[in-house]
Each structure stands twice: as structure tokens, then as C-alpha cells.
Chains A and B, each alone.
Chain A
Amino acid sequence: MRIAAILTAIVIAGTAIAAVAAPPAQQAIIDQFAAAAKKADPGFSGFSPDAGKTFFFAEQTGGTGEASNCYACHGKDPKKAGETRAGQTIDPIAVSVNPKRFTDMAMVEKWFGRNCDTVLGRECTVVEKGNFLTFMSAQ
């Protein structure tokens, strides 16, 4: 009986890990966002890559800058390089082609801090950030 319970637990844990597509370094960042989301909302049940995708392609209003969406600079294909308005190349944001993406929390927060203000005119919520990283980590 006890062994069955342990086996069940292992299977469930295995399934949970299998459902997580992010490599360990990115997952560590996502986990930090998840903990913050759970703290803010006990009903929080996990990030959605689909919501992250919708967010990436969404047309935003209220931004303080020129761009009104993410792909204006990052491009419509996350696996390809983007370009700043000044003509500088931006490395791809899809983790599969750029494994260094989203591995440093300070870097992640710096760019969300800037770009969310530029594009949305506000800070992004922890759920928006987590959805975004979950989507890009699976790309």
C-alpha cells in the first residue's frame, strides 16, 4: 500500500516535470515568478504559454514609447533575431536558439522594467512575465 503510494507520487512528479518545458536555468526564474504569483493569489494554478504567446503578439495602448507591441523590435518569429529602432540586432528571444535568454533575474527584470513601460506604460504583472517566459522557454 505504502509502496503504491510512493510509486503514484513518483509518477505524478514525473508527469509534472514532463509538463514543464523550460530548461533548468529558465525554470528557476519561472519558479520565482510562480512563487510571487501564488503569494499574491492563492488560487494561482500555473503559467500559460498560450497566454504568453497572445501577450507577445498583442497590440498595446498606453505605452510611453514608440513601440506598441513586443514584435516591433523582437520580430514576429522569436527564433530569429530582432532589430532595435536604431538598427542594432537583437538576439533571438526563443530559448531553443538562444539558451542564454532568461537565465539572470536582474537582466530579466531590467528588460521587463524598461519594455513594459515603453510598450504598455506600466509594469508588467508577475503573471504576464511568467506566461511570457513560459512561452519563450518552449520556443
Chain B
Amino acid sequence: MGTKMGLALAAAVAFIVAGAGMLAVQAQNAPTPNAGKDAFNAECGACHMPFQPEFLPARSWQALMGNLSKHFGENAKLDAATTTAITDYLVSRAADTVNNRQALQGLSPQDVPLRITETPSWIREHRRVTAEVVARPEIKSKANCVACHRRAKLGVYED
């Protein structure tokens, strides 16, 4: 390698490193865009898989987050700041926000499904899964996605 080329390469590397450094600084100064996602994973994920927000429309997430003290047979209330941060995150990734047509299929604008398992899309995809299968001790609940979809937490359901 010639000295000239070596210098050019060094300059390029320095440029990339500096650029990455600036990005890192920017990320630190930004108003923590992942705060809502982190809170969602920690708080909601304490009791059930943190379902992908893309499975329900924004109106559903707002309804759920507005009534956490009556959450499918549990009081799941959170402080106001955490509730708002999580709601903002869910709405920002909701099915209608990101135009997830598959999840919205069969839902009219008035429908406010409170369970992903109530959506026409979920029901169709799971039409061959019987109640007996769901009741197995290692599955226990339709909300236990990972029991069958091992990579569900990564958003992979192709199995």
C-alpha cells in the first residue's frame, strides 16, 4: 500500500469515526426517543410478552392505556409519566400509524379491539389452533405468543 493511499484510508477512517461520535452525542442529547419503548418492555413485559404495537390501531392502545387499573383481570396501573411515555410509543408504532394492512384487515374504524387475539387477522391466522391446544400447561394463554412462536419477541411469527 502506498503512503498516499494509506493516508487517504486513515483520513476516511477518521472521518467515519468522527461521524459516529457525533451521532452518538446527538443520540445522548435527544429527548430519549426510546424511553417509551424501554418502559413498555420493562413494565408491560413484566406480566406478558411485550406485543408489537403494530398489531393494534392507535385507538386500541389509547383505550388500553387509559384503563390500566382494569386490565384483563389485573390492576396494572402505572404512574402518569410512564403511562404517557408508553402510550406515545405504542401510538407511534400502531397498526394504522405504520399502515399495517394485515393487522387492520376486517376492522372498521369504529372497532376498538382490546386484545390482539380479537382481531379478524389474528383469528384467521390461528383458525386451526383449538382451545385444547391453548389450554396446555406450557401454553396456558392465547397471549403467550412465545410458547409457539419462539422468536415472537423479535417480531418473527413465520413458524
Contacts and interface: CB of A to CB of B under 8 A. Distances in A.
B73 A84 contact: no
Contact of A114 (B77, B139, B140, B141): B77
Nearest to A66: B73
A70 to B, nearest CB: 13
Nearest to A117: B75
Interface in A77-121: 83-88, 110, 113-115, 117-118
Contacts of A87: 48, 139-141, 143-144, 147
Majority DSSP secondary structure for residues of B touching A: loop
Given A87-B141, A87-B143, A65 B74 contact: yes
Nearest to B45: A88
Given A64-B70, A117-B69, A86 B76 contact: no
B47 interface: yes
A65 to B, nearest CB: 5
Contacts of B76: 114
Nearest to B138: A87
Interface in B62-98: 69-70, 73-78
Contacts of A88: 45-49, 144
Contacts of A117: 69, 75
B39 to A, nearest CB: 13
Given A87-B140, A87-B141, A117-B69, A64 B75 contact: yes
B48 to A, nearest CB: 4
A67 B117 CA distance: 22
Interface of A: 64-67, 83-88, 110, 113-115, 117-118
